[in-house]
Amino acid sequence: MMKRLSTLALLSALLWACSGEPLYTDPQLPVEKRVEDLLSRMSVEEKVAQVSAQLLFMDEFYQKRDYTKGHIRNVGHFLPDGGLPNDPKTVAERINDDTQKSIEASRWGIPVLQHGEALHGAQWGNATCFPQSIGMAATFDDELYYREGQVVAEELRAVGVRQVYAPVINITRDQRWGRGQESYGEDVLMNSRMGVAYVRALEEGGVVATPKHFVDNYGEGGHDSFASITSWRELREVYLEPFRACVEEGGARGIMSAYNSVDGIPASCNPKLLQDILKKEWGFKGIVVSDYGATEMVGNRHLLSETEDDALALCMNAGMDLQLANTSDGLLEQVQSGKIPEKVLDEGVRRVLRLKFELGLFDKPLVDPQKAAAIVRSPEHRELAYEAACKAMTLLKNDGILPLKGVKRVGVFGPSAHILNVGDYSGGRGGWKGDGVTPYEGLKNALEGTAEVVLAPVSQNVNPLASRCDVLVFFPSITEEEGSDRSSFHLPSSHVHPNRTTDGGLIVADPQAPAIEVDQEKMVRDLIATGKPVIVVLHNGAVIDISGWADGAAAILEAWYPGEQGGRAIADVLTGKVNPGGRLPITWARTIGQNPMYYSIKPSGRGYGYVENDGSPLYPFGYGLSYTTFDYKGFQTVETLEKAHPLKIRVTVTNTGAVRGDEVVQVYIHDELASVVRPMKQLAAFKRVTLEPGESREVELEIPNRQFALWDRDMNFRVEEGWFEVWLGRNAEEKITGTRVYVK
């Protein structure tokens, strides 16, 4: 051991040995040396505790808390349940107390790893709440998303939360899936780029990112956690690629396995996924955690073992490192009986300890509560949430009514008009309860002194107010979240209510989501029938069937779930202070019968239409309108490309309109001749640019050589020589200009 140590580390080790202190407590030693020294001292019982976790609601937290467990769902998430404050200072103090007790409960002073969620903000209380993931994908701006991740990491670390189960990088190609709002949409590149940006920011900020759910998290019918029937080719080409990127490029030190089975084997005990691909092929050095209760489901749902304890053995032996949560009681017996070899246990413990040393938890386990109060939701953080909300806004239709000019009275209608509809995984238990304004309040503030803004009661009768207004703004809502998949794309009516019954919903459900008490389809048609201009502002993370009323609407703005500053951002877009520049990260189907629907399909042997329509989308992937116009000139790239090199493209973009605006430059490619069937088009690069009226800018984009590669007939990943079509598009359906490039 000593021959491998540097001179400084050797001297430190000798001095430490002379002091009588264990070597693992020496912060000057390499992490691996500290890990091995501590591991050699631990009993089997202590090792088992380090790969075990707890999740306890507030009414039982201090009664059932086992401080020897290596991981805990941080108490800040549950404080509102007990009527307790969850401000940053209080959360930091409570987490400090829990961490200190874990150190005292351990013979070796091993601190607990405090974990939580951070899908679109630090989810332990009222931290800064950003737009939902699908909204951030609509920004087509991974640089902005990296800055958001930096804020989230800072607000997590400020209170002592050091691992989060985020981001969700499950590609969404069936809009019936209720968790589409948590994803980055349908595209492989978008999921990879956004996932890497967020993961890198978290990891650089001292928080372990844990992309989920590994892998292919929903199945036929859009059902969450249904068995995957996806081929290994499709898994490699599509669903595994964002995870690879987050591990190899983003540096993720955590991965969460999915509930579903893949090729007949549950993801949580699938050695091909957890060992062969993740750990061996990708060189993943972090920890694999189960989704909550996923290990026991191997037995009681998937029926691969007679007992839940035997299911633990299947998972650990397949490459699972950490059991979430409250499901590891039989783990010690499985090790003692030999069903889990101690070397397997040691490997999981080694990975856990490595993380704790790397995070500095042994050397500085506690945080400063006073500093937490100053950091969380600082003015700078809230302003970034506003910028993100503005950039997420995606204009789908505008007959000229927007931006609003010269109106005297605006009527505001719908179940999402006067609530802060931020989506699921928001805030702690009980939802996000910060001071953000609602859309109605935002409009009132924006039009103060120029127009009256009147809020209609949530009622089926719209005429009393509508007839007295110049313009009508309708804010509908849909039912979607974890545990709430959809079989209809229409706006739900009074008989549809949110499903709060699933285990996941107990943790993440958003109680601020509106209870839908009106027939929204009829309501919007009634508003249109008044003859007044109707603007529809959508709050959703997945496609809605708008075919029954879209033609009659004067404008349609997709706001997604825009976060704590969403009310302000919506108002500023409607009034023209902000020019919307978001683009759809999903293909907008005309009807539910077109699902699954996505742009990067492979060629058909027959056709692409239906009896009722030609199969085209209502709005294509990458679509979005603006209050200005853009022109492209001077497209440049090489004619021949070496296989190992990236392809660089230059184009000059000009704002030809009268107002400042954002354009998203999109590059698509197509492999003209390959050894296996390839998609008809693939997004290969994108860049968002902001231009003043009349301003021109040369934009450079780079397509990594990996984008030209494929999995060949023998499932080897390589670039084949041949011609590729490369073009710029306003969206996936509208080409601007392009060329052919020979890759050799």
Per-residue pLDDT tens for 350-403?
Answer: 999 999 999 999 999 999 999 999 999 999 999 999 999 999 999 999 999 999
3-state secondary structure of 330: coil
* Assigned fold of 630-743: Immunoglobulin-like (2.60.40)
**Around Cβ 454, how many Cβ atoms within 10 Å?**
15
What are the extents of the domains in the chain? 1-41, 46-341+350-373, 392-594, 630-743
Q: What's the order of all strands across the beta sheet hosting 452-455?
A: 394-398, 555-558, 534-538, 471-474, 409-413, 452-455
Q: Which fold has domain 46-341+350-373?
A: TIM Barrel (3.20.20)
Backbone region of residue 155 per phi and psi (left: phi > 0; alpha: psi in -120 to 50; beta: other values): alpha
| Binned average pLDDT, 10 residues per bin, the chain of 744 residues | 54 64 96 98 98 95 96 94 90 98 98 97 94 98 98 98 98 96 98 98 98 95 95 98 98 98 97 98 98 94 94 97 88 96 98 98 98 97 98 98 97 95 90 92 98 92 92 96 92 63 42 77 96 98 96 98 98 98 97 96 95 95 98 97 96 98 98 98 98 98 97 98 98 98 97
Are 178 and 486 a contacting pair, CB within 8 Å? yes
- Residue 378: partners with Cβ closer than 8 Å, 6 or more residues away: none
pLDDT number for residue 338: 97
The three-class DSSP label of residue 743 is strand
Q: For residues 288 and 255, is the Cβ–Cβ distance under 8 A?
A: yes
Q: How many CA atoms lie within 13 A of 359 on its CB side?
A: 32
DSSP one-letter string for 257-302? B-SSEETTEEGGG-HIIIIIIIIIIS---SEEEPPTTHHHHHHHTS
Q: What is the pTM of this model?
A: 0.96
Phi then psi for residue 17, to 5 deg, are -65, -40
Q: What is the pLDDT of residue 459?
A: 84
In this predicted structure, what is the pLDDT of residue 4?
A: 53
Look at residue 327 in the predicted model and tell me its pLDDT.
77
- CATH superfamily, domain 392-594, is Glycoside hydrolase family 3 C-terminal domain (3.40.50.1700)
Which has the closest alpha carbon to 416: 535, 539, 536? 539
CA atoms of 118 and 123, how far apart (whole Å): 5
The predicted structure's pLDDT at residue 10: 62
Cα gap 347→362, rounded to integer Å = 20
Q: What is the rounded CA–CA span in Å between residue 58 and residue 112?
A: 18
Instruction: Check residue 504 and give its pLDDT.
Output: 40
DSSP run (H or E) holding 474: strand 471-474
- Predicted pLDDT at 499: 47
C-beta of residue 132 within 8 angstroms of C-beta of residue 399: no
Q: How high is the pLDDT of residue 574?
A: 98
